[in-house]
Structure 1
Amino acid sequence: MTNEGTQQGTEPLTGGALTRARVLDAAARLIGTVGLVRATTKEIAREAGCSEAALYKHFRDKEEIFVRVLRERAPRLAAAVAELPDRAGAGTVREHLEAVVAVAVPFYRQSFPMAGGLLASPELLAAHRRKLDNAGPHHVSSHLADYLRAEQRLGRVSAAVDPDAAAMLLIGACFHRAFLEVFYAGEGPAEALRPVAPAEFASATVQALLGGIEAPEA
């Protein structure tokens, strides 16, 4: 999910930074193949080519590794939608919403293997919730709704639309698309994914949403 030993736009990693990056990459691979519960710190360290002691120099526990994998190794959905309200009035509503879809689908697709193990363990889920400190998944739809409200004030989204419901519709469509991609893994019936191409899905989904929310003059 990353280029081994590098960070975007920086020199190759060395020392502790390289070990940390390898641990996160190894955790992402294991969680995606054997699941969150079976991806123990011992197995993660082995996959990363380091000792458990070296792993614990960078992470308190497996839950912290899980959080960092989501934040650093998955497409940055939360950051993408958090920036949207400040972009109201620039570009077009369509462009912004299609950009959200382009990030949301791969984010959820990569998150499902991790989330499955998390949801299956009430204790692990509770610990994860506490560490989020109110920075939970609801922020994705709430930031998107804030953006739509800002566009409403500018007259580019219909005043009759509930921004929270519209945001939930778009994020829900992305979530379901990602679920289908993971569930069928390329082996589903021809009608399982329509449109097939990700860009076409983004365009068609946003068009369906805009048909109900966009102001006529926009």
Structure 2
Amino acid sequence: MSSTRERILDGAAQVMRSRGLARATTKEIAKQAGYSEATLYKHFRDKTELFIGVLHERVPGELAALLAGLGERAGEGAVTETLEEVAQAALDFYGETFPMAAALFAEPELLAAHRSALYAVGAGPHAVRDAVAGYLAAEQAAGGIAAAADPEAAAALLLGACLQQAFLGNFAGDPAAPEGFAARLVRTLSGGLGV
């Protein structure tokens, strides 16, 4: 039997997927989970904390775990293989989360509150780019990529392409990236990195 917290996260994921973060209410989430709002607030401080929980515990994929260990992979294995793993995980993550988060940008006050809450816990979309750029900088220091390469720009190019694919896929009604898309992105990017 699942715990109260687990059922709340399941309910939050369902509501956020169907209504988006901006339109999802804690009342709806509590109802979907089969609890009162008071019970929800015993486990989560606010909707942003719920969203972070959904991202870390209910969105399929390996992006968070992959990024957590990325710095340790510098100098180990092929750069292109690591970047392909990152690209595939980012494609999966963005494809799943884009519909949840997109509506935030239509409500400036909610976006500002969400941004502040994420920054307060050291999270946010910049963390993905920073982790990939950090990995590339470490590879550069180890001689794995060209000294003239720009790790931050390369990370932005790779992840930006993944985010655009998520946008286009969700717009078209099929968020899954085309087969081999991650490998094609990395193959194209690796020329500029001097891999």
Instruction: Name the amino acid aligned to 1:77.
Output: L
Name the SS of the counterpart of 1:186 in structure 2.
coil
1:171 and 2:159 aligned: yes
1:147 and 2:135 aligned: yes
Matches within 5 A, 1:86-105: 86-105=72-91
How far did residue 33 of structure 1 move? 0.9
1:4-43 CA deviation, whole Å, 9 max, x = no partner? x5xxxxxxx4xxxx11111111111111112223321111
**Partner Cα separation in structure 1 for residue 58 and residue 92 of structure 2:** 11
Matches within 5 A, 1:34-183: 34-74=19-59, 75-132=61-118, 133=120, 134-183=122-171
Between the two structures, name the one with larger relative contact order (CA 8 Å, sep ≥ 6): 2
Structure 2 alignment gaps of length 5 or more: none
1:211 and 2:191 aligned: yes
1:25 and 2:5 aligned: no
Instruction: Pick the structure with more helix per residue.
Output: 2
Q: Name the stretch that deviates more: 158-167 or 178-187.
A: 178-187
**Partner Cα separation in structure 2 for residue 110 and residue 196 of structure 1:** 15
Instruction: Name the amino acid aligned to 1:99.
Output: E
How far did residue 126 of structure 1 move? 1.4
The CA RMSD over aligned residues, in Å, is 2.0
How far did residue 140 of structure 1 move? 1.2
Q: Percent identity?
A: 53
**Partner Cα separation in structure 1 for residue 82 and residue 168 of structure 2:** 24
Structure 1 alignment gaps of length 5 or more: 6-12, 188-192
**Partner Cα separation in structure 1 for residue 133 and residue 23 of structure 2:** 37
How far did residue 67 of structure 1 move? 2.3
Equivalent pairs counted in the alignment come to: 192
Closer, same or farther: CA 90–205 of 1 in aligned 2, 3 Å: same
- Correspondence for 1:8: none
How far did residue 76 of structure 1 move? 4.8
- Correspondence for 1:9: none
How far did residue 66 of structure 1 move? 1.7
Name the SS of the counterpart of 2:147 in structure 1.
coil
Structure 1 ranges of 4+ moved more than 4 A: none
How far did residue 99 of structure 1 move? 0.7
